[in-house]
Amino acid sequence: MNEMINEMDGKEFRSAFTTELFNRINKMIEDKKLSLENAILLLKHIGYRKAQKNIRDPDFLRSLLDERLEKTIFEEDKKKKEEKDEKLLVDLCECYLFLSFFVSPKLFSMCVPYLLKVALNKEKNKEAQKEVEMALLTLSNFGEYLSFNFFENERIQKLYVDEIKDIILYHQDHQNLTRLAYQSVLECLLDRFEEDESLEEVVVNEVHLGREAAKEVEELWKCMDWKKKEEERGKGREEEMILMRWLKTLNIYFCNCRLRNEECIELIRCIVRLFRAAKDNCEGIRYWCDYLFETTAGKKAVEIKNLLKGRAVELFLEEIQQTKLDNIMTLHGLVYFMNVSNRLKEEMGDIIEKAKRKAAKKLIFEKMEEEGYEDVMISFHKMLSFLKDQHCGFGYISLNISDYFVNV
């Protein structure tokens, strides 16, 4: 059963694990045809793979099994300390938080201490590492749960930041976490950063997110056999799933970080290399690389000159000349240069910033001139309306050709 679950893609997963199936499991527990312990083993594996694949659906929430697990967690938690089974409570919390689409603030605040206790285990043996990985993967869903009840859960998120930072810094010194656990704990911190800008110094200068993400992404994509097509590599490759999680998480970093630093240059270079490796045979990774490039071009977390140093500009100069009119990369390229151009046109009062902007404009202009960008864009001029109509989701594509140029 576990092997079948591992091989499922997102569509197969959703079609298999429905409300009806969870109701059937609940009935089997009720009729004592399936023990709670065995049900937990199955549900933890289902939830673990669901979290790995970033699948979000409400099927479990609609089931009777949802009610049963929630009631069991509260009943176990109410027991006296000497009667309480903490291992069972951790397993139940992981099952519930992995599978549920929504968690009440009361239940959530009750589960957090049990999961943190497991996550803080610093042993390096495989069994301990797996338990830590499970707890951190569960905790990495904090952002989604807290977004429903942000103010009610504000106290919870303040409490665990120090513990999360401790786990990250200890791993950087001792390498005691699995790859998925490390990605998950950094995601926990970034989820809080999205709501609390005071964590910027911690994210950038203490845990060095840019440096660490670049290192992890680089190691992961080098494990992949990119010569094989997606279907030949098989479904559910762990490195591929973790890469996808990294790319989605990094969007939070690029959208929210205002504290600029040189570490992001290597991170952008790494994403460029990943894009080149994956563009012909991994649609999901290619899409998220594209999305990150658009984010970095449109937000102020990365300076324009660092986009050039990171070779993202060069990548899109190449791609926009190679793609066909019906290729989505054309649209991504147009949005990218439109964002870059808009940022360079922004008015800034500070003389130093004006000088920096002028220098960045000159670098971009020269690179575009060298690559023949102007000729390519002129050839697209009459096609902008066609492209916009063909890809109506790109409603923000400008029909004004000057919005894609950088003037010194």
Mention every residue, 6+ apart, whose C-beta is less than 8 A from residue 374. Answer: 368, 405
144 lies in a domain? no
The list of the chain residues with pLDDT below 70 reads 142-159, 194-195, 230-236, 260, 323-327, 347-352, 382-383, 386-396
- Looking at residue 96, its pLDDT comes to 92
Cα–Cα distance for residue pair 207/349, rounded to 1 Å: 33
Total-model pTM: 0.87
Q: How many helices (H) and strands (E) does the chain have?
A: 23, 0
Q: Which domain holds residue 84?
A: 1-102
232 lies in a domain? no
Last residue of a domain, one of 70, 86, 102: 102
**Residue 325: which of 243, 395, 383, 274 has the closest Cα?**
383
Ramachandran area for residue 326 (φ above 0: left; ψ -120 to 50: alpha; else beta)? alpha
Last residue of a domain, one of 102, 131, 159: 102
Do 119 and 136 contact (CB within 8 A), yes or no? yes
- Looking at residue 394, its pLDDT comes to 56
- Looking at residue 151, its pLDDT comes to 43
Cα–Cα distance for residue pair 349/87, rounded to 1 Å: 59
- Looking at residue 83, its pLDDT comes to 92
CB atoms under 10 Å from CB of 32, counted, come to: 8
Q: How many CA atoms lie within 13 A of 228 on its CB side?
A: 10
355 lies in a domain? yes
131 lies in a domain? no
- Looking at residue 148, its pLDDT comes to 47
In the chain, the amino acid numbered 388 is K
- Looking at residue 152, its pLDDT comes to 47
353 lies in a domain? yes
Do 351 and 357 contact (CB within 8 A), yes or no? no
| Rg from Cα positions in the chain | 24
Last residue of a domain, one of 79, 102, 125: 102
206 lies in a domain? no
- Looking at residue 401, its pLDDT comes to 78
Residue whose entry in the numeric block shows the structure tokens 């649609």: 283
Mention every residue, 6+ apart, whose C-beta is less than 8 A from residue 79. Answer: 85
291 lies in a domain? no
351 lies in a domain? yes
Total structural domains within the chain: 2
Q: Could you tell me the CA-to-CA distances from 32 to 20, 35, 95 in Å, in that order?
A: 18, 6, 19
